[in-house]
Structure 1
């Protein structure tokens, strides 16, 4: 399967510009935390493939093409090259190869799942869902297809159906961190932060170099008022991938909760420089700018 995804949760906390959250009244602070948790449960970055242009180089494609030319009736060759095209962002070419693989072997469930993922990236969830369903009809124990279909349900806000698919994948002893990460997001949205932390931790154990589950776990730590562990997770997410605006805004959130508004402003500003459209960073800059202007 070609899919490598990235999801992070981030929330904006409503405070007064130029004031430490710790200096706010109890009622205002409670309202700020409520707003934070609502945003946490509804904001999710786009589920996208991590483009690896090296896999789409002429040399690599030529090598895979040579394999196909030596055995043009082998559907696996087309599936492999289609996966390379997918990782390189060449979605139409990827579809062409998966179509050819399925023409040669209509029961090639992995090609259906791969094509389903490409359809999802192209904004065609109905076609993607159809392909995932076919893959599971052909192989009801294919964890990748459950995860892919679960992602479609998740983005359609069909959380029960999504949870069911992630549970099935996990029940099949999947080693794919996406199943635990996504299920953690659902637990998080439902306010079950203890279970969310467990799932994010499992995702981290399976993919320790991915920043996204650290961000997810950190948000649940914040919800449980465990700022120290949250701060450690956000900082580690930055160490793993310093180009994620979510990580910097999450770090800024902890600074803001600690009353370190200058540091918060700096981190929010950096997040905004990475993604000028990232609203939590914009909100954070607006809230903390006053602390910088005072001095």
Structure 2
């Protein structure tokens, strides 16, 4: 059973852990590059935010937005908005077409370049995505989401230094951007700079405590610096938002194993593998604890 996290201040910075009932009640809006960003955190007006739980609503909205476009065929924002609706239901080719129309009408619409770049990433077209992020920063050097999106792509391409430069710019432009802090935390984590990563994930949770990814990520870095009890608290908070998160189950298993709680560790590894049988952390942990034959494909 997932343990509850009580309201209170943890001893690792100024982060406030809110009650799990509030955490679980929060909605989860995702940017197009969902795995790279923090759900529900606001960027700047115009960037496409995608709520993956609202596909039916998006389908209805597409019809309404098409009517808007028929009445205002030269409005770039109308195409940009409908493009976001198309992306929300996975129609990335249609989304890209709308974002393209938007920038044809307004070649300086940075949000449309950024949205098209994110849709291109979802379509596996990373080179074209990078070109669009570059266009966005040229069109509007003060548009922070473009730097966040480009940084996430650069991190995936192992260009950590340029990713950090972009994220430092994004945070300077928008100090309240939870996405920027989360993305920078992931870069620091990838580079093994876990104390910097933890500080950035603290900042994410300060700004938006109601989503799972920063708790999972911070828990992983807390394990790396030997704070296993605090890591378990973070994984538990993450699981109270999304109990189908294999990474959080596996992380909680590893932290429990580090504390010598082998039975709890095995239970958590099994939960992780029941969700994702390929989870490397859980597979390795289960092997160490003598349960390697379970959940093998």
TM-score, normalised with respect to structure 2: 0.79
How far off its partner does 1:191 sit? 3.1
Counterparts of 1:223 and 1:84, CA distance in 2 = 39
Report the secondary structure of 2:163's partner residue.
helix
Structure 1 residues 157-202: Cα deviation after superposition (integer angstroms, max 9, x where no partner): 0000000000000111243222111211222233332221110011
How far off its partner does 1:50 sit? 6.2
Bigger relative CO (Cα 8 Å, ≥ 6 apart): 1
Contact 2:77/2:102 (CA < 8 Å) preserved in 1? Answer: yes
- Show the counterpart of 1:241: 242
How far off its partner does 1:223 sit? 1.9
- Show the counterpart of 2:34: 5
Counterparts of 1:227 and 1:276, CA distance in 2 = 24
- Show the counterpart of 1:73: 74
Contact 1:262/1:288 (CA < 8 Å) preserved in 2? Answer: no
Higher Rg: 1
- Structure in which a larger fraction of residues adopt helix: 1
Structure 2, unmatched stretches of 5+, are 1-29, 38-49
How far off its partner does 1:119 sit? 0.7
Counterparts of 1:53 and 1:194, CA distance in 2 = 36
Aligned residues: 253
- Show the counterpart of 2:257: 256
Counterparts of 1:57 and 1:153, CA distance in 2 = 30
Counterparts of 1:70 and 1:118, CA distance in 2 = 26
Counterparts of 1:175 and 1:3, CA distance in 2 = 20
Cα 1:134–1:159 change in 2 (3 A) is same
Cα 1:187–1:116 change in 2 (3 A) is same
Q: What pairs with 1:222-237 in structure 2 (closer than 5 Å)?
A: 222-237=223-238
Q: Does residue 85 in structure 1 map to residue 86 in structure 2?
A: yes
RMSD: 2.3
Counterparts of 1:2 and 1:158, CA distance in 2 = 22
Counterparts of 2:168 and 2:180, CA distance in 1 = 8
How far off its partner does 1:3 sit? 3.1
Contact 1:200/1:217 (CA < 8 Å) preserved in 2? Answer: yes
- Show the counterpart of 2:119: 118
- Show the counterpart of 1:271: 272
Contact 1:248/1:270 (CA < 8 Å) preserved in 2? Answer: yes
Report the secondary structure of 2:35's partner residue.
coil
Structure 1, unmatched stretches of 5+, are 9-48
Contact 2:185/2:196 (CA < 8 Å) preserved in 1? Answer: yes
- Show the counterpart of 2:60: 59
Counterparts of 1:291 and 1:132, CA distance in 2 = 44
